[in-house]
């Protein structure tokens, strides 16, 4: 007989609009309720984090969606300049009058890339941060033709 896990209750404060969107997803996917959908989302988030931790590193892209505010933009710039990770390019897109997307291409050690991504993702006003880490074989570095 399978042992049942101990369940824990916790409270979460989120914007009404985000909860409304989540409730639509819960209904569309046929979940019995929010709890199972939240458990699935947590499992997905943890498995993604495990995958990122297992990558060798070397290079990555970090996609960030945030509210356009001067203070946050300054914090993003300071994080880029103060990092041990080499930010080699940025793309800035105005998605809406209130939201921006930045895609940063970075190089460095896996741990410093992850630390950089965690710092950016934890800034107040950042609504989405997704890291895609990958390895670049050394032999490719000097064979770039353009």
Q: Identify the sign of the CA torsion 21, 22, 28, 33.
A: negative
pLDDT at 21: 94
Token readout for 59 is: 């290079």
Question: Domain containing 92 — which CATH number?
Answer: 3.30.70.1150
Q: What pLDDT, on the 0 to 100 scale, is given for residue 5?
A: 75
Give the mean pLDDT of 30-45.
90
Q: Residues 79, 125: one domain?
A: yes
Q: What is the mean pLDDT of residues 37-47?
A: 87
Q: Percent of the chain at pLDDT above 70?
A: 84
Question: Do 31 and 81 belong to one domain?
Answer: no
6-10, 20-24, 49-53: the lowest-pLDDT one: 49-53
Q: Are residues 30 and 87 in the same domain?
A: no
- Under the banding of pLDDT at 50, 70 and 90, the label for residue 111 is confident
- Assign 45 a pLDDT band (cuts: 50, 70, 90): confident
Residue 10 lies in a domain: no
Question: Between 70-81 and 110-121, two packed helices, what is the crossing angle to 10 degrees?
Answer: 170
pLDDT of residue 7: 86
Q: Give the confidence band of 119 by pLDDT, cuts at 50, 70, 90.
A: very high
The confidence score (pLDDT) of residue 66 equals 96
Within a domain: residue 77?
Answer: yes
Closest alpha carbon to 130 in 66, 42, 64: 64
% of residues, the chain, pLDDT over 90: 55
36 & 67 share domain: no
At 103 the three-state DSSP class reads strand
């Amino acid at each position: 007989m399978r042992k049942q896990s101990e369940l824990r209750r916790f409270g979460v404060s989120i914007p009404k609009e985000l909860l409304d969107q989540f409730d639509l997803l819960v209904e569309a996917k046929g979940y019995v309720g929010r709890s199972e959908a939240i458990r699935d989302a947590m499992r997905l988030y943890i498995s993604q984090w495990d995958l990122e931790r297992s990558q060798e590193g070397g290079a990555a892209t970090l996609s960030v969606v945030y509210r356009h505010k001067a203070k946050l933009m300054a914090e993003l710039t300071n994080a880029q300049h103060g990092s041990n990770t080499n930010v080699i390019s940025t793309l800035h897109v105005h998605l809406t009058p209130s939201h921006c997307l930045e895609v940063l291409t970075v190089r460095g050690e896996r741990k410093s890339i992850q630390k950089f991504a965690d710092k950016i993702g934890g800034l107040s006003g950042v609504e989405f941060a997704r890291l895609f880490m990958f390895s670049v074989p050394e032999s490719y570095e000097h064979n770039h033709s353009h």
